[in-house]
Structure 1
Amino acid sequence: MGLDVEANGLAALSGTFLLLTTGTVVLRFVARYKQKGQVWMDDYTMALAWVGFVGLAALSFFGISRGFLGYAMPRDRALVQAVALTQARALISFDVLTAMTFGMTKLSAVFFYRRIFCFGPRRDVFDYVTVVFVLLVSAWTVTFIVVPLNLCGPLKSIEWDIHHAAQCDHYAYFKGISVSDFVLDVAVLVLPLPKIWSLNMTTVRKIAVSCVFLIALVGLGASTARLVIMMQLIRKGRAGNAKDTYQGNTQIVYYAILEAAFNIVAINGPSLWYLVAGVPPERVLHSIRSIISLGSGHRPDSSKSSVERTTCDAAPGHKLDDTDSSPSSPVKNGVETYAMADLSAVTSAKGGQGVIVVDREFRREVEQRHQHL
C-alpha cells in the first residue's frame, strides 16, 4: 500500500502543506504591506483559496480520526453503516471545498495576469480574453459547488442514505470535475504566453519572463496525477471499488489536497522574492509594464509614444515615477523611471514642445538612480 491510501501519508501531506500554504499566503500579504502595494482581486481570491484549503486539510484529519480515511474498510457492515452518514457528509463537504479552492486559485492567477498586462484606458484582445476567463472559471466554480449537493437528487445529498447509494452518480461527477479541471489548468497556464511573446523584447527576455509564469507547471503536474488516479477509479467502477471504498476515497482526498497545495504555493512564489533576494515582485511587475507601454508606443497607429504620454500626464513639479502603479491608478500607462534603464541607449530623439528628449546622459542618470534603489 502506498502513502496515498495510508493515514500517516495523508496526515503528513495535509499537515506539511497546511503550514507551507499558510506561510506563502502570509508572506504575500506581508510583502504587500511592506511595499505599500495595493491589495487587489488576485490577493482576495488567493485568501479565499487558502480558506478552502484549510477546510480540506481539516476534513482530512477528521476523516482519519473517524476511521473512514487512511484505513481499510471494516468487514463488519454494521461498523461501515455506523459512520456512513458522517462519511458522506464529510466527503460532500470536501467536494464543495475542492471546487471552491481550485476555482479561487485559478481566478487568482487570471487576476494576476490582469494586474500586469491590463492597465490604462486602452483595451486589447488580451483584456477581453481574461474577462472571458474570469467568467468561465467563476461559472465552473459555482457549477461544481452546486453539483455535489444534488448528486442524489435536488438538495438530497446532505441527507444521504446508504440504502440509496446507487441513486448517486458520483462517477460522472468525478469524471466531469477532473477532466474540466485539467483542461482549465492548461488554459490558464498558457493564457499569458501569446501576450508575452508579442512584446517588443529579445527572445532571451521573452523566455525568462515566460519561465516566471510557468512556475505553475508544478501545479499542473499535480493536476495530471490527480486526473490519472480519478480515471483509474472511474474505470474500476462501483463494483470494482466496492471491496474497499475507504481506499478510493482516501486517494481522492490525497490528490485533491496535493493539487490544491501545489497551485497555491506556486502562485504565491513571487512573494518569497522580497525576503530571499530583496527584490519586490512589484519591481518585476513595473518592468514588464514598462516594456508593454514602450512597445505600444512604437505602434504605427500611436499618435504619441508612451514616454510622451507620461510627460503630458505628469503634473508640474512632480517626478514621472510619483504615480501609483496599482490597477486603480489614474495614470496607468505611464513608464516607471527606473525601468527606463532597460532601454538601449538612444543617440538622440528630438521632438517638439511637451516631448522628452532622451539621450545617453539621461540613461546614465537613470542607471545611477537604479543602483541606489
Structure 2
Amino acid sequence: MSPTLPSTITDEARARAPISSATVVGVSVLYLILATVFTGTRIYTRYTVYQQFWWDDWSMVLAWMGTIALCTLFIMMMQHGGGLRRDDEPTRDYKLYLEIFQDLQMVARTSMFFAKLSILLLYVRLFYPKGVARSLFWWIIQAVIWLNFLYTVGLILAIALQCVPYHKPYGSSCVDQYMVLISASIINIISDLLVLLIPMASLWRLNMSRKRKWAVWALFAFGTLAPIASIARLAYQIPMADGTDTTVIYMIVVLLALAEQVIAMVAGNAPVVSAWFVRLVLKRGKRDAVSPAEAANVPRTLTQRFWPDREGHQESPKERRLRKWKRSGASDPYPITITTVQSTASQEALDPRHRSLGDAESGRGSEAWELSENASIAAGTKRHTQNLN
C-alpha cells in the first residue's frame, strides 16, 4: 500500500457523514476488546490449567493479530473518507480509501482462515486425541481445512491481481468488484455452515449422557451467529454493493465482516474459556482443578508448555483390538465439561482408559463442576465405568 497522506476532508463533510468517525472507532475498540479478552483468557487457561498448547491455540493467536490489523485498516479507511458521502470525498483521499480497502480484504480473508483453522483443529484435539482412531469425521475436518486454505489463497490472488496495473482499483481495467464480494460471501457462508455442523455430528459419538452432550454442544452454539453475520452481509451486498456510494457501502461491508471475525473467535475460544470461567468466576471445582503437571507431580517447563502437543497417548495393538471389538466411539472431551484435569503431563487427560481418569470419575473428581445435572453425571459415569470394564 502506498504511504498514507494527510487527509483533506473538511469538518463539514464529516458532520454530514452517514457513518460517523466515533461509530467507526467505537466499534473497532469493542471488537478489539472482545477478541483480546477471549483470546487472552484462552492462552491463560491453556498455560495455567492445562499447561499444554497445540496448533489450535497458536492459530487463534494469529487470528487475533489479524483482527488488530483489520481494525487498524478500518480506522484508516475512515480517515480517508470512509463513512462520508461519495461527493464529499476528495479524489486523492478516495484513491487511498480504495487501496486500503483492497488491503483490508486480503487481511480479512487471512485472519478468518486462521480463526476457522483454530476451531477445526480444536475439533481434532477434542474428538480425536492420541489413541483414538481416525474416522469419517476426521477426514471431513481435514477436507474443510484444505478447502478453506485453497479458498483463502484463491481469493487473495483474485484481489491482489484484480487490477492492471497493480493497486489501481480506481481505474477501468479491473475485474468486477461486485462479483468478487458476492462470490466471497457465498463461499464463506458454506464454509461457516460446514464448521458449525461438524461438532453437531461428532458429539453424538462421544461416550456421555444425552444431557451432557447437549451441554457441550451449547458451548459451540454461539458459532451459529457467524453464518448469520455472513448471510446478513450477503443480503446487504446483493442490492447495494454495485452502488456508487462506495464510501458508505464498503464501510458497512467491513463492519459485518469484522462482526463475523469476532464471532468466530469468541466461538472458537468459548470451549476453552469455559474452564477458566467456572473455576475462577463461579468458584466451583477449585479444590479438584489441578493441572496435568500437578497431577503427575512433575513441573512442566516453558518449552513443554508451549511446544504443540495433544492430550492422550498412542494406542497399543491390544487397545486397538479391544476398541474395534467393542465398537466404541471417541471419548468424552473431558476438560471442556469439567475443570478438573487428572492426567500425566497432559498426555492422558482425554483418554478414558487411563487409571487416573477412572479414579477422578469415581472419587475426587465427582464434586467438580460439569455442564449437566448431578443425576446425569452419575448415570454417565456409571455407564462409562461399565464400558471400561
TM category, shorter:
0.7 to 0.9
Instruction: Please tell me whether the aligned partners of residues 18 and 84 of structure 2 are also in contact (alpha carbons under 8 angstroms).
Output: no
Q: Provide Cα deviations, 1:205-237, integer angstroms capped at 9, x if missing partner.
A: 222222222221222322222221122224xx3
Which residue in the other structure is 1:251 paired with?
A: 252
Counterpart secondary structure, 1:269? helix
Which residue in the other structure is 1:323 paired with?
A: 344
Q: CA deviation at 1:173?
A: 0.7
Does the C-alpha gap of structure 1 residues 299 and 40 become closer, same or farther in structure 2, counting only changes over 3 Å?
Answer: closer
Does the C-alpha gap of structure 1 residues 195 and 322 become closer, same or farther in structure 2, counting only changes over 3 Å?
Answer: closer
Which amino acid in the other structure matches residue 108 of structure 1? S
Does the C-alpha gap of structure 1 residues 276 and 202 become closer, same or farther in structure 2, counting only changes over 3 Å?
Answer: closer
% of aligned pairs identical? 21
- In the TM superposition, 1:70-109 aligns within 5 A as 70-75=83-88, 80-109=90-119
Q: CA deviation at 1:332?
A: 5.5
Q: CA deviation at 1:321?
A: 5.0
Compute the TM-score of the two structures, normalised by the length of structure 2: 0.70
Which residue in the other structure is 1:148 paired with?
A: 159
Q: CA deviation at 1:303?
A: 9.4
Q: Which has the higher helix share?
A: 1
Compute the TM-score of the two structures, normalised by the length of structure 1: 0.73
Structure 1 residue 52 corresponds to structure 2 residue 61:
no
Which residue in the other structure is 1:30 paired with?
A: 44
Aligned equivalents of 1:165 and 1:58: distance in 2? Answer: 28
Instruction: Please tell me whether the aligned partners of residues 49 and 105 of structure 1 are also in contact (alpha carbons under 8 angstroms).
Output: yes
Which residue in the other structure is 2:127 paired with?
A: 117
Which amino acid in the other structure matches residue 258 of structure 1? A
Which residue in the other structure is 1:157 paired with?
A: 166
Q: CA deviation at 1:147?
A: 1.6
Residue correspondences, number: 313
Which residue in the other structure is 1:63 paired with?
A: 77
CA RMSD in angstroms, aligned pairs only: 3.7
Aligned equivalents of 2:207 and 2:53: distance in 1? Answer: 29
- In the TM superposition, 1:161-176 aligns within 5 A as 162=170, 164-165=171-172, 167-176=174-183
Q: Mean alpha-carbon deviation: is it higher for 6-15 or for 336-345?
A: 336-345
Aligned equivalents of 1:92 and 1:125: distance in 2? Answer: 38
Counterpart secondary structure, 1:70? coil
Which residue in the other structure is 2:325 paired with?
A: 301
Q: CA deviation at 1:80?
A: 3.2
Instruction: Please tell me whether the aligned partners of residues 56 and 118 of structure 2 are also in contact (alpha carbons under 8 angstroms).
Output: yes
Does the C-alpha gap of structure 1 residues 26 and 297 become closer, same or farther in structure 2, counting only changes over 3 Å?
Answer: farther
Instruction: Please tell me whether the aligned partners of residues 120 and 333 of structure 1 are also in contact (alpha carbons under 8 angstroms).
Output: no
Q: CA deviation at 1:46?
A: 0.7
Aligned equivalents of 2:139 and 2:330: distance in 1? Answer: 22
Instruction: Please tell me whether the aligned partners of residues 297 and 304 of structure 1 are also in contact (alpha carbons under 8 angstroms).
Output: no
Instruction: Please tell me whether the aligned partners of residues 63 and 114 of structure 2 are also in contact (alpha carbons under 8 angstroms).
Output: yes
Structure 1 unaligned spans of 5+:
308-319, 350-355, 359-373
Aligned equivalents of 1:8 and 1:331: distance in 2? Answer: 47
- In the TM superposition, 1:118-267 aligns within 5 A as 118-121=128-131, 122-153=133-164, 156-158=165-167, 160=168, 162=170, 164-165=171-172, 167-234=174-241, 237=242, 241-242=243-244, 244-267=245-268
Does the C-alpha gap of structure 1 residues 120 and 268 become closer, same or farther in structure 2, counting only changes over 3 Å?
Answer: closer
- In the TM superposition, 1:325-340 aligns within 5 A as 325-326=346-347, 334-335=353-354, 336-337=357-358, 338-339=360-361
Which amino acid in the other structure matches residue 16 of structure 1? L
Which residue in the other structure is 1:12 paired with?
A: 26
Q: Considering Cα pairs closer than 8 Å and 6+ residues apart, tell me whether 1 or 2 has the greater RCO.
A: 2
Instruction: Please tell me whether the aligned partners of residues 306 and 334 of structure 1 are also in contact (alpha carbons under 8 angstroms).
Output: no
Q: CA deviation at 1:330?
A: 12
Does the C-alpha gap of structure 1 residues 203 and 6 become closer, same or farther in structure 2, counting only changes over 3 Å?
Answer: same
Q: CA deviation at 1:94?
A: 0.4
Aligned equivalents of 1:331 and 1:187: distance in 2? Answer: 25
Task: Find the structure with the greater CA-based Rg.
Answer: 1
Aligned equivalents of 1:181 and 1:51: distance in 2? Answer: 20
Q: CA deviation at 1:4?
A: 8.2
